[in-house]
Amino acid sequence: MKEKMLKIKAAIHVQKPIHDVFEAIVDPEIMSKYFIKEGSGRLEEGAVIKWQFPEFDFQFDIRVSRIKEDKTISFYWADVKGPITLVEFKLSEENGSTFVRVSEKERKNSASGIKWLKQNTEGWANFLACLKAYLEYGINLRQGAFSNSQMPEV
């Protein structure tokens, strides 16, 4: 019998046009206003970039896999102690807003896999809330929200 693998899924509606949401995810200048401290480049197919988060002392390598403007964004990344995982964003227009779905896959159903599932599910839910707050209201929810001593172990 095949072992069931763990996969993260999160979603939210953002009351903005789909292209604005797309740009807020692929453009590091915009993303630095609500989620990352800085990014070394724009998410473009085949690019390898780095994301720096304000609450971590290390950078995350992002290897962009696929970009379909206003539809799909996918990349591979890894936390410090884990294997590389695939992150996929799917965007769709619904009643004048943008429905954003994010998934990250996959890890084994084990103690370390469950820890990853918990931490990264929280992380992607936070990302979506920050994206919505910034695009709809101009608020950076992460600013001052975390200190290094309060962050969960990665």
Tell me the sheet residues that pair with 67.
73
What token pair was written down for 15? 């009351």
φ and ψ at residue 106, rounded to 5 degrees = -140, 165
At 11-54, the pLDDT tens digits run 999 999 999 999 999 999 999 999 999 999 999 999 999 999 88
* Domains in the chain: boundaries: 5-145
Asked if residue 151 has pLDDT above 50, the reply is no
pTM of structure = 0.89
Fold of 5-145: Alpha-D-Glucose-1,6-Bisphosphate; Chain A, domain 4 (3.30.530)
Q: What is the pLDDT of residue 22?
A: 98
Residue 90 and residue 101 in contact, taking contact as beta carbons nearer than 8 Å: yes
